[in-house]
Amino acid sequence: MAYTLAADLVSFATQERVASDLDDIDLLARLYRPRLLRFVSAQVRDDDLAFTIVQDTLLKAHRNRASFRGDCAINTWLTGIALNLVRDHARTQKFKFWRKAEATSVDATDLANHLRASGSNGDQALIAKQQAASVHEAIGNLSPNQRAIFTMRFIQEMELAEIAGQMNMPVSTVKTHLHRATKAVRAQVKGDA
């Protein structure tokens, strides 16, 4: 009986902490925005759009905090919301403008590399930037499911079971998509080298 009471008290305390995290939108943003930005940026490959989607994710989570059942971690719940918003944007063709802008615009990070401060090793930075660009390009060439699973695993650092829950797939299917995505990214990055 004492064990059950102690477990209930721990569970209640955890639920209270989760509820307070979700009630304070500033705390929610401070704790989860960086990971969500990495995840969404890898999906949409546009920093402004990623920031907008993350803001929408946090706002939607805050508005719907009463519906959070606690079946998963807050990060997993937020990632699911973000993934749905990314899918919604893709489905409604809101990416048309961003794709055209990306193809015709100058990348500010490229310009920043040309304006590097003295004393830094430009060759190493250039090599690292090229490798990162190759990986980003390879991720962009994956199917939507492979891209989502790859970024959840390697950017969000989610467990396979969490990814399976978010994607509504069996773990074995997630493993297959992850294996194929990893193989495709490695092959393309090796080919670029």
DSSP class of 92: T
pLDDT at site 57: 93
Average the pLDDT over 160-170 and give the result.
91
Average the pLDDT over 76-94 and give the result.
84
Q: Which has the higher per-residue pLDDT, 135 or 179?
A: 179
Q: Average pLDDT, whole number, for the chain?
A: 78
120: left (phi over 0), alpha (psi -120 to 50) or beta: beta
The correct CATH number of 1-105 out of 3.40.50.300, 3.30.465.10, 1.10.1740.10, 3.30.360.10 is: 1.10.1740.10
Whether 184 has a pLDDT exceeding 50, the answer reads yes
Whether 150 has a pLDDT exceeding 60, the answer reads yes
pLDDT confidence band for 154 (50 / 70 / 90):
confident
CATH class for domain 107-193? mainly alpha
pLDDT at site 52: 92
Whether 153 has a pLDDT exceeding 60, the answer reads yes
Average the pLDDT over 129-147 and give the result.
85
Average the pLDDT over 138-150 and give the result.
89
What is the Cα–Cα distance from 108 to 7, expressed in whole angstroms?
Answer: 52
Average the pLDDT over 152-174 and give the result.
89
pLDDT above 90 covers what percent of the chain? Answer: 27
Q: How many residues does the chain have?
A: 193
Least confident of 13-22, 60-69, 164-173, 183-192: 13-22
At 27, list the tokens: 């705390």
**CA 141: distance to chain centroid?**
17
Domain extent listing, the chain? 1-105, 107-193
Say if CB 75 and CB 88 are below 8 A apart.
Answer: no
